[in-house]
Amino acid sequence: MPDKRKLYLIAAVAMVVVMVIIIIATVLGGNKRDQANIRGGSTNTIRGTSTTGTSGGTSGDSSSLSRSGSRSGSSSSSTSGSRSSNSNEIAPEDYPVKRLDQVAQNLPREEILNIQRQIGYTLRLNKVSGDHGDIIIRKNSYRQTMTDADKLIYQTDFIIDLPKVKQSYQVKDSYSPLPAETSGLYDYTTLILCLDKSQLIYGDFNCNDRIKSERRGY
């Protein structure tokens, strides 16, 4: 009998040892799986962010830039890219055009701000900084037409006068509520151009604009 008791005791101890080993192995295996899942989740998150950031940047450029003076949204033109970067540093609220939000039809607030941003960029090209005074739409100069009914493209034209700095410019804006991929409006859609000398009411001021500066290479 004592031998049988010893055998039972040894068997019980062995079973306990085996169970403990199984429990330890299960816990360690679970921890390894959790760590692997965490690593895998981190990798997926990083990839997702990268992918979203890339596509978001492209679509963001296409949509927002499709309503801006520099709608390239791509690296197809390094000149356009630099123009976009420079103009986007300008606060459009600093260049309000009197009554434009009342006169302009079919143009959202975003497009009006973009026009004002391009005005600011052009004024900087012409060495106007600080207090530029009022920006006024010249009487009877405002025109808007739908140039493409299928793509809902609105062409808006008007002349602005700045009495304080004695300068005037032609504003040309092409806008569509549709995405750039549909409307085809990418770049050169909002332009602030120099006027013909015959249209200058304050005299010649050696005007510069985006087109002229790009032709000159700066």
| pLDDT of residue 157 exceeding 90 | yes
| pLDDT of residue 94 exceeding 70 | yes
Give me 122's structure tokens: 């052009």
Name the residue with higher pLDDT: 159 or 19.
Answer: 159
For residue 54, count other CB atoms closer than 10 A to its CB: 10
Q: Say how far apart CA 164 and CA 35 lie, in whole Å.
A: 68
The total number of residues shown for the chain amounts to: 218
For residue 107, count other CB atoms closer than 10 A to its CB: 20
185 backbone dihedrals φ, ψ, rounded to 5°: -90, 105
- H-run or E-run covering 32: helix 2-64
- Of 62-71, 72-81, 170-179, the poorest mean pLDDT is in 72-81
Decide: pTM greater than 0.75: no
Average pLDDT, the chain: 76
Q: For residue 132, which of 85, 168, 87 has the smallest C-alpha distance?
A: 168
Q: Say how far apart CA 57 and CA 46 lie, in whole Å.
A: 16
- Whether residue 134 contacts residue 87, with contact meaning beta carbons closer than 8 Å, is answered with no
According to the model, what pLDDT value does residue 18 have?
74
- Whether residue 172 contacts residue 133, with contact meaning beta carbons closer than 8 Å, is answered with no
What digits encode the pLDDT tens for the residues 4-61? 676 777 877 778 777 777 777 776 665 555 544 444 443 333 233 332 333 333 333 3
According to the model, what pLDDT value does residue 86 have?
56
According to the model, what pLDDT value does residue 20 have?
73
Between 109-125 and 78-88, two packed helices, what is the crossing angle to 10 degrees? 100
C-alpha R_g of the chain: 33
For residue 174, count other CB atoms closer than 10 A to its CB: 22
Average pLDDT over residues 184-202: 95
pLDDT band at 71 (very low <50, low <70, confident <90, very high): very low
For residue 200, count other CB atoms closer than 10 A to its CB: 17
Q: How many CA atoms lie within 13 A of 63 on its CB side?
A: 8
- Of 44-48, 168-172, 197-201, the poorest mean pLDDT is in 44-48
According to the model, what pLDDT value does residue 65 have?
36
**Residue 97 DSSP class:** B
**Residue 88 DSSP class:** H
**Where do the domains of the chain lie?**
68-216
Share of the chain above pLDDT 90, in %: 51
Name the residue with higher pLDDT: 190 or 37.
Answer: 190
Q: For residue 96, which of 80, 81, 109 has the smallest C-alpha distance?
A: 109
According to the model, what pLDDT value does residue 180 have?
94
